[in-house]
Structure 1
Amino acid sequence: MAKSDDNETLQNIDLPAGWTFMALLVGLAFGWFLSGSEAAGPVRAVAGPVGTIWLRALQMTIIPLVAALLVAGIGRMVATARAGKMARRTLLTIAAVLAAGSLLSALVMPVLLDAFPIPGTAQAALMAGDAQPQTVPGIGAFFESLVAPNIIAAAASTAMLPLIVFFVALAVAITRLPDDQRNLMLNLFEALGNTMLVIIGWVLWLAPVGVFALAIGVGLRSGGGAFAALGHYILVVASLGLMVMIAAYGVAFFAARRSPAKFARAVLPSQAVALSTQSSLASLPAMLGSCRALGIRETTADFVLPLAVAIFRATSPAMNLAVAIYVAKLTGIELTPANIAAGAAVALVTTVGSVSLPGAISFVTSIGPIALAMGVPVEPLALLVAVEMLPDIMRTVGNVTMDVAVTAWVDRKPDEN
């Protein structure tokens, strides 16, 4: 779990990532042990409702939390853009990197899954509850669905695309209000977001119980296949984060005009801190040192790096979209180019609201909307969040590496060759 990105509201909430992971393993093993025995039926009768209740509690926070985070996040970005030329240049650079990450995942993840297929037992292994695919509209209906005539009805049916369109438009409209009204509305949505974060913090505090109950059902259905399925998932999704990290070296060379060898030496201490702490914020002093080693102007590093830590998760669009595509493949859903494009757009937009959150919470708030927008069941996410602590290591190292590369890019003068 990324300690880096702790929201102030959650500083006193200890999210039990290690216990959740252990609950997953023990639950799978216990279900596997009981599969085929007479005790399987009674155990399933108890564990099933417990897991379902926890899963629904997790799902009920997604829409209000995403709405609040989107409005507040876009409001902050607009305020940052008004801070000056360097702020606007930084935001444009960040947007370009995030968009490239979404495109990378959309193109590469399906190819990866064709080259390294999901194990045959994985479908039974990773399905939690009675997961049902969402209805995916045709291309014409898809564009019509972007605008909902009744936003309340859209929320009731978890129609994520029109909800995101509405709340992005609402956020932009709020930034055009007079200062007192704008601050009032942004404070309202920030308060709503913080309230939802408290609730989801409670739900995730109970994650060991909920995940244990869901894992028992998975073990009863699939036996030991779940372990291979989860290992495959971790490796494939983490590979997208590795690609983003490698791309950071390309950004440093082609965009920032820094020697790859020099960049690698300079960024290594920051990567070591990121690996050991799983925290971008804790890596900030080391990143400042990396920037000094690269000869980046102190004024640039002092402005760009704290801003990048606050609003930038380079690996998020690529890895979040990768999870949704993985679940689609897992559940046998054929994704059209329109579906993948919708997922990529939502992955890009929800990144704005998911920064400064612990990894487990950002996993739910970011990937849930992507899956819903693509017509992919969200139920498997309840089990995958239990192993997020492992891909999150790659997320943090990739984010830190790209933060330094982007800072070097912003520092490059426009007239440099």
Structure 2
Amino acid sequence: MTTTKKPFGLTARIVIGMVLGILSGLVLQSLMGKSGDFVLNLALFELSLKSFLVDGVFEVGGQIFIASLKMLVVPLVFVSLICGTCSLQDTTKLGRIGGKAVSLYLLTTAIAISIAMFIALVVSPGEGVNMTTSTSFEAKEAPSLAQVFIQMFPTNPFAAFAQGNMLQVIIFALLFGIAIALSGESGNRIAKMFEDLNVVIMRLVTILMNLAPYGVFCLLAKLFATMDFSVFGNIIKYFFVVFFVLILHGTVTYSVLLKALAGLNPLTFLKKMRDAMLFAFSTSSSNATIPVTMETATKKIGANNAISSFTVPLGATINMDGTAIMQGVATVFIAQVFNVDLTVTDFLTVILTATLASVGTAGVPGVGLIMLAMVLDQVGLPVEGIALIIGVDRLLDMTRTAVNVTGDCMVTTIVAKSEGQLDQDIFNNEKAGQKIEEIDFHHLKD
């Protein structure tokens, strides 16, 4: 059977969906104007663009797409991590892989916030900006580091699955996988079942990827139809500084590390990351993008599942490079807005606090703002300053999620290469992984 060829590849279709979504949102916002709505008087009834399209079709379509991706996260991480753990002949490798991954994630986070603060000091986005201090922001309290380690171990694994607590799911999957590996013939039968499940789940990921252009269209159409662009007036400089550093870190820093530590071609890597970055940008969620990131790491980059099944979900949980960049620029920006001079010690404190907090606040809702509140408090800056930047944080959140996902795959690639678990033929093959993205929905069986 021959599959029906699509006129565009998946990446092109996602980009088209993004562009059409943005344009549709802008047109709708223009039509709705200051009133926030536009009513069409039809023959039999009135049709509200806001109620029917923005809060109706686009909201439903976008949220179903996000929910579908999140639906796969827990089973994918659990099954693939068990498969990866079972395939390790020596379980001591797990500690070595984990040590390398965590060290690289912390290193890239420290580099990210250092670059961000340096460029923010050079550009000075907050100088001369007169903003009132009447704004307020209350951050949720972050758990202590000791409490984070305690909560990593689930008392009820099924509750961890239901709540999507990724650290607990990872710990349980690792222990379960090791138990399977030590259970002889019985373990082998269970392992084969999980391997078959992994194949099916990855195919389900492919199905959702083919539906992505429609989901991306709905998400961006809703966002740009309701976004308040007036907030850019006072903090456009801050916005572009953060955006520039995000792009710089995602391309230059990762490329240098990849070339220096793995000897691989950064351009090849970045080309293979296109789909995952587009998914991350449109969903603004590293966790929701895990299925696509996993497929990219294994099928397109060539990392063995034994590595990627551990490093990718771990990175989605603790890798906060994009957030660290926002914190670095925001700290300097808020200090300049409120005319507070930061010392060298303050800058070092910010770097250390943000780097360690990336692990300490892992999995906490609103993690970026919680971490920023912690950082500001450490150097005596007013936490209410966060309210000044919330207005533009949505667009920046989309970009920093794309950076985080790229960092997850970069670390996975370096760790896989150092462990001899990277198929360089797949990495160097520009078309690797593209065939599995093609699905003929009219003929489900060959």
TM-score, with length taken from structure 1: 0.53
Equivalent residue, structure 2, for 1:162:
168
Deviation at 1:212, TM superposition (A): 1.2
Q: Counterpart of 1:246 in structure 2: which amino acid?
A: V
> Secondary structure of the residue that 1:244 maps to in structure 2?
helix
- Are the equivalent residues in 2 in contact too, given 1:32–1:220 (CA < 8 A)? no
- Are the equivalent residues in 2 in contact too, given 1:17–1:386 (CA < 8 A)? no
Equivalent residue, structure 1, for 2:16:
19
Equivalent residue, structure 2, for 1:107:
110
Please report the RMSD computed on the Cα atoms of aligned residues, expressed in angstroms: 5.6
1:340 aligns with 2:347: no
Q: Counterpart of 2:254 in structure 1: which amino acid?
A: V
- Are the equivalent residues in 2 in contact too, given 1:35–1:219 (CA < 8 A)? no
Aligned residues: 318
1:305-324 alignment runs, 5 A limit: 308=303, 317=315, 321-324=320-323
Q: Give unpaired runs (5+ residues) of structure 2.
A: 1-7, 39-47, 127-137, 276-299, 332-349, 371-389, 423-446
1:243 aligns with 2:253: yes
Output the CA distance in 2 between the equivalents of 1:25 and 1:229: 22
> Secondary structure of the residue that 2:153 maps to in structure 1?
coil
Post-superposition Cα deviations, 1:101-128, rounded to whole Å, max 9, x if no partner, equal 30123323333444455978xxxxxxxx
- Are the equivalent residues in 2 in contact too, given 1:47–1:213 (CA < 8 A)? yes
Output the CA distance in 2 between the equivalents of 1:162 and 1:325: 24
Equivalent residue, structure 1, for 2:439:
none
Deviation at 1:222, TM superposition (A): 4.1
Equivalent residue, structure 1, for 2:54:
47
Q: Give unpaired runs (5+ residues) of structure 1.
A: 1-11, 121-131, 253-262, 281-304, 347-369, 411-417
Output the CA distance in 1 between the equivalents of 2:232 and 2:402: 22
- Are the equivalent residues in 2 in contact too, given 1:324–1:371 (CA < 8 A)? no
1:98 aligns with 2:116: no
Output the CA distance in 1 between the equivalents of 2:27 and 2:233: 10
Q: Counterpart of 1:60 in structure 2: which amino acid?
A: A
1:143 aligns with 2:149: yes
1:70 aligns with 2:69: no
Equivalent residue, structure 1, for 2:63:
56
> Secondary structure of the residue that 1:147 maps to in structure 2?
coil
Distance 1:196 1:97, change over 3 A: same
> Secondary structure of the residue that 1:206 maps to in structure 2?
helix
1:217 aligns with 2:214: no
Q: Counterpart of 2:177 in structure 1: which amino acid?
A: A
User: Sequence identity of aligned pairs in percent?
Assistant: 12
Output the CA distance in 1 between the equivalents of 2:322 and 2:54: 26
- Are the equivalent residues in 1 in contact too, given 2:255–2:266 (CA < 8 A)? no
Output the CA distance in 1 between the equivalents of 2:420 and 2:248: 25
Q: Counterpart of 1:247 in structure 2: which amino acid?
A: L
Post-superposition Cα deviations, 1:317-345, rounded to whole Å, max 9, x if no partner, equal 4995223445778999x9776641246xx
Q: Counterpart of 1:57 in structure 2: which amino acid?
A: I
Post-superposition Cα deviations, 1:74-130, rounded to whole Å, max 9, x if no partner, equal 344345533x9xx998x888656533330123323333444455978xxxxxxxxxx
Q: Counterpart of 1:26 in structure 2: which amino acid?
A: L
Deviation at 1:135, TM superposition (A): 6.4
- Are the equivalent residues in 1 in contact too, given 2:269–2:301 (CA < 8 A)? no
Distance 1:140 1:115, change over 3 A: same
- Are the equivalent residues in 1 in contact too, given 2:112–2:321 (CA < 8 A)? yes
TM-score, with length taken from structure 2: 0.51
Post-superposition Cα deviations, 1:199-254, rounded to whole Å, max 9, x if no partner, equal 465355421122111222124664689987775555323333422322345437xx
- Are the equivalent residues in 2 in contact too, given 1:48–1:217 (CA < 8 A)? no
1:174 aligns with 2:180: yes
- Are the equivalent residues in 2 in contact too, given 1:28–1:219 (CA < 8 A)? no
Deviation at 1:396, TM superposition (A): 11
Output the CA distance in 1 between the equivalents of 2:213 and 2:239: 20
- Are the equivalent residues in 2 in contact too, given 1:133–1:375 (CA < 8 A)? no
1:365-376 alignment runs, 5 A limit: 372=365, 374=367
Equivalent residue, structure 1, for 2:297:
none
